[in-house]
Amino acid sequence: MDDLNLVDRGCCNGHGGTCSKLDVYDWLGDVINIANPTDLVEVRFKNTRKDYFRNVNNLQLSQGEIVAVEANPGHDIGIVTLTGDLVMEQMKKHKVTTINGDLRKIYRKAKPADIEKWKEAIALEHETMLKSRQISNELNLNMKIGDVEYQGDRTKAIFYYLADDRVDFRQLIRVLADTFKIRIEMKQIGARQEAGRIGGIGPCGREICCASWISNFVSVTTNSARYQDISLNPQKLAGQCGKLKCCLNFEVDTYLDAQKDFPPTNNQLEVENGTYQYQKADIFKRIYWYSKVGDKTGIFIPVSVDRVKEIIRSNQKGHKVSLLGEVVEAKPAVAEIVFEAGSTRDSLTRFDNPNKSKKKRHSGNRDRRNFNKPKA
């Protein structure tokens, strides 16, 4: 249990639980490859960083174990996420390049001394990040240091930064090296990667995708919103990172498939009673909505996609159709729900007629007045 807590704090910076987006399901875990066994191992570190190593010492490794691996310089501490034949497929997927034709090595399973030193390095990261931000501000650099990751042996630190333009941080590296007495490496990240590490709740009410499962970010354009007929409102289309939401890409292919045979929307429909122009569409119901040119009543007329194509073909031949072909949507019949109760006190409509209770109250007062009145 202590190791699992350490994994959460060390590799996820305390956000997002167990970093589920870095986990890999080994669907070949119960298959033993006796003919061609592989010594490749996938190891994950902090900040969605993964790397691949060779198990040259033939250690018996399983997912979740903490290992000491070769680094430059010294050694680093990581968590095993995958072993076996699937590691090669992961390397092909992520296009991993080797160093001098070979991968780095796994030294050993982490000893208690290694883990203790790793915990001390993790504890220094937040304070180091705040101090480095102060130094970059003093040097008037147009950049933001988003996070710091110490190597397991505390001989090196990776500073993740955000910058809109090119930054000359050579002076910053010298100052950081003198301040923290470690080797410095700078890595630029984007706003989406930073939002993924910080985490948060999206407008859908769930954890944002970049913090829960997205590890490879694909560019998002406003065309994704146009294809889905979404209003181009920057406040609604932007995520917590300030960029377009990644979820705009999730259903684009479905919308594109549904619109393959849709007619163009820039054609006006010529009808005997006037000209109609396109306003909006219900893509999956295959309905276009049109309004009459010059009509300021705001009335939109639904027309099926097939009918629109017929009208366009007739207009191209120089003919005007007599009817636009309004679509009347049949509303589903909903049976009236009747509440039955044994007592009128529990009736749902007991407060619907306030005059009735008022009348009863007045009659009761009149009865009391008659009772108190002395008899003649």
Measured distance CA(95)–CA(116) in Å, rounded: 34
Question: pTM for the full model?
Answer: 0.66
Could you report the per-residue pLDDT of 36-91, keeping only the tens digit for each? Answer: 678 899 999 886 788 999 999 989 888 889 999 999 888 999 999 888 888 888 88
> For helices 170-180 and 112-138, what crossing angle results, to 10°?
130
- Across the range 227-232, mean pLDDT stands at 89
The backbone torsions φ and ψ at residue 244, rounded to the nearest 5 degrees and listed phi first, read: -65, 145
φ/ψ of residue 16, rounded to 5: 80, 20
Q: Which residue ranges make up each domain of the chain?
A: 2-111, 222-260
Q: Give the pLDDT band (50/70/90) at residue 297.
A: confident
176-202 pLDDT, tens digit each: 999 999 999 999 988 888 888 888 899
Quick one: pLDDT at residue 310? Answer: 92
> Is 16's pLDDT higher than 70?
no
pLDDT at 267 over 80: yes
- Which pLDDT score is estimated for 32? 72
118 exposed, middle or buried (CB, 10 Å; 0-12, 13-18, 19+)?
buried
- pLDDT tier, 8 (very low <50, low <70, confident <90, very high otherwise): very low
Average pLDDT, the chain: 82
Please give the full DSSP string across 12-51, using - where no structure is assigned: HTTSSTTTGGG----TTTT---SSS---EEEEE-STT-EE
Q: Above 60 in pLDDT, residue 280?
A: yes
Phi, psi of 194 (to 5 degrees): -65, -45
End-to-end CA distance of the chain: 92
Q: Other CB atoms closer than 10 Å to residue 285's CB: what's the count?
A: 12
C-alpha 78/C-alpha 264 separation (Å) is 55
Which carries the bigger pLDDT value, residue 223 or residue 34? 223
Write out pLDDT tens, residues 84-118.
888 888 888 878 876 556 889 999 999 999 999 99
At a CB cut-off of 8 Å and minimum separation 6, what does 339 contact?
Answer: 347, 348, 349
For the record, the structure tokens of 127 come out as 């304070």
- For residue 11, is pLDDT > 50? no
Q: Are 61 and 67 in contact (CB under 8 A)?
A: yes
